[in-house]
């Protein structure tokens, strides 16, 4: 494929970034500029000679600008195959001139939705003529150059300067691919808005998920896997990737996954007392509240000092210097905080590899949203597990009702268990996790592992007894048999919180009564896979 000299360009943009520099460069190469409405006005104000689209088509813009470029003299000039004799004859017969370059960026649909505009304004920001021109130009990229992103203007200028006003086929092909991706993303945003927002349809018959490349990653979960981070095209998403990395090495695939898990969990306590979460392999290994952030950190760290090494930490308060000093006593991969004071930043600055992420206000844990998980040949989609319970939701099922302190410990442990991989068992006492058992194939083993962690923590700290003694234990799903519950009783737990609903509930309740345990049912399960 040969180079194509650009003689006529059609420009119609919503985003005027870089427009004047591009227009000046095109004029320097003797390119005729054809434009619409506000774009033509802006180019003229910059001192450039512009031909109105209505002059090209012989037809006025009408209907508040809804109809201006949907015309054979536009699309004929874009779609005609230049070396096809019949196409050339049709152009001559109908006085259609070739258009060699199209510069279009589309009406700001996503931004209009994000600012909370009413339905009429949103509908008016659905671009029709723009995508039509983009698709026509991209289809005929053998002869036409299409630009949809101001970031590409400089490259076009360099290309034309190098090739005496022409573009190469390779350049046009790349631009066409980007253009079709842009229109696909645009249409998917519109389809998603109609289905999810306008019609309230959570699971439409067809689902398009517009995503943009956020960054390429060094590798995936393992070095032999390639990976990248994609971001939602709609603005205003509560995503970890939207937050500010202040310092440290580039975030890896695993860093992002773990930091996301940490942020999700610590957000449960956004309105609570100072709270620290320590995550390892997407599971919490220690969570604690305290009077101060450093007190909470010390308590969370003591829960499992071995697993905390190389972990990810999230806090629900602005990070202070003393807490930062404590965190840097061991190797930590990532720290997430709403903000960090100057003292904390100075401490972390000495640890060049430590990644500090400032999240701003923590997201609402009850916010709506969807989660997606790929399976072979498909995608599982569900709404977020944003279910929460209060004391009023609990049903006491044992002879002994829990004390006020046991209730508080139950609710704290239950909140943590929601974020632990199933089967999940969490012991907690006085706003601190005592032991966490995650990801086991049966609930009894999770209970035993959590108790082992608690005993190891007590030995490391020199305590006379593990914190499971007098604790509450939470299970993310029901106990099908008494064995898991009895393992918790053996560890010293005095109160139990679980969903209930098993065929074996009566036997489990009887075992709890015999052991003197207080037990409450939530009626809600929190499996996590």
**In the numeric block, which tokens belong to residue 305?**
């000092």
Report the 10 Å Cβ neighbour count for 259. 27
Report the 10 Å Cβ neighbour count for 266. 28
CA distance 413 to 407: 10
CA distance 516 to 89: 95
Cα separations (Å) of 13 from 22, 64, 148, 255?
Answer: 12, 16, 9, 39
The answer to whether the beta carbons of residues 113 and 24 sit under 8 Å apart is no
Buried b (16+ CB within 10 A) or exposed e, 183-195: bebbebbbebbeb
Pairing of strands 32-35, 51-52: parallel
Pairing of strands 8-13, 32-35: parallel
Question: What is the set of active-site residues?
Answer: 139, 281
How many CA within 13 A on the CB side of residue 166? 12
CA dihedral 34, 126, 171, 27 (to 10 degrees): 20
Kindly state the helix (H) or strand (E) to which residue 41 belongs, with its residue range. helix 37-45
Question: How far does Cα 46 stand from its chain's mean position?
Answer: 40
């Amino acid at each position: 494929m040969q180079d194509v000299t650009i003689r006529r360009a059609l420009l119609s943009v919503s985003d005027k970034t870089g427009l004047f520099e591009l227009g000046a460069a095109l004029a320097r190469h003797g390119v005729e500029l054809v434009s619409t409405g506000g774009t033509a006005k802006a180019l003229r104000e910059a001192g450039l000679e512009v031909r109105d689209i209505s002059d090209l088509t012989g037809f006025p813009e009408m209907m508040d600008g809804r109809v201006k470029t949907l015309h054979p003299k536009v699309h004929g000039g874009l779609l005609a195959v230049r070396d096809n004799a019949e196409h050339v004859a049709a152009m001559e017969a109908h006085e259609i001139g070739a258009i060699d370059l199209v510069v279009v960026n589309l009406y700001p649909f996503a931004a209009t939705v994000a600012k909370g505009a009413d339905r009429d304004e949103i509908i008016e920001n659905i671009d029709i003529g723009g995508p039509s021109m983009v698709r026509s130009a991209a289809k005929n990229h053998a002869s036409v150059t299409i630009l949809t992103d101001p970031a590409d203007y400089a490259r076009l200028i360099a290309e034309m300067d190098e090739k005496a006003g022409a573009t190469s086929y390779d350049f046009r092909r790349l631009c066409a691919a980007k253009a079709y991706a842009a229109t696909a993303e645009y249409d998917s945003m519109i389809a998603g808005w109609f289905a999810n927002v306008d019609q309230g349809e959570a699971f439409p018959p067809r689902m398009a998920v517009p995503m943009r490349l956020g960054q390429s990653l060094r590798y995936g979960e393992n070095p032999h896997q390639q990976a990248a981070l994609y971001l939602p095209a709609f603005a205003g998403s509560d995503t970890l990737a939207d937050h500010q990395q202040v310092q440290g090495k580039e975030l890896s695939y695993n860093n992002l996954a773990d930091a996301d898990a940490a942020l999700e969990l610590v957000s449960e306590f956004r309105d609570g007392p100072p709270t620290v979460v320590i995550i390892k392999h997407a599971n919490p290994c220690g969570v604690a509240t305290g009077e101060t952030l450093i007190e909470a950190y010390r308590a969370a760290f003591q829960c499992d000092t071995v697993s905390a090494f190389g972990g990810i930490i999230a806090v629900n308060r602005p990070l202070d210097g003393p807490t930062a000093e404590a965190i840097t006593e061991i190797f930590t991969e990532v720290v997430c905080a709403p903000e960090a004071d100057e003292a904390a930043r100075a401490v972390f600055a000495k640890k060049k590899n430590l990644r500090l992420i400032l999240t701003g206000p923590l997201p609402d844990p009850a916010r709506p949203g969807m989660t997606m998980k790929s399976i072979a040949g498909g995608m599982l989609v569900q709404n977020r597990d944003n279910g929460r319970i209060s004391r009023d939701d609990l049903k006491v099922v044992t002879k002994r009702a829990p004390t006020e302190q046991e209730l508080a410990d139950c609710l704290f442990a239950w909140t943590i268990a929601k974020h632990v991989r199933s089967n999940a068992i969490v012991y907690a006492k006085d706003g601190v996790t005592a032991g966490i058992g995650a990801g086991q194939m049966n609930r009894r083993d999770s209970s035993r592992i959590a108790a082992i962690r608690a005993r190891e923590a007590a030995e490391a700290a020199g305590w006379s007894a593990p914190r499971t003694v007098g604790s509450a234990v939470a299970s993310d799903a029901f106990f099908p048999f008494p064995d898991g519950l009895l393992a918790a009783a053996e560890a010293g737990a005095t109160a139990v919180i679980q969903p209930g609903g098993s065929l074996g509930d009566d036997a489990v309740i009887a075992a709890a009564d015999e052991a003197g345990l207080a037990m409450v049912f939530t009626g809600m399960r929190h499996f996590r896979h």
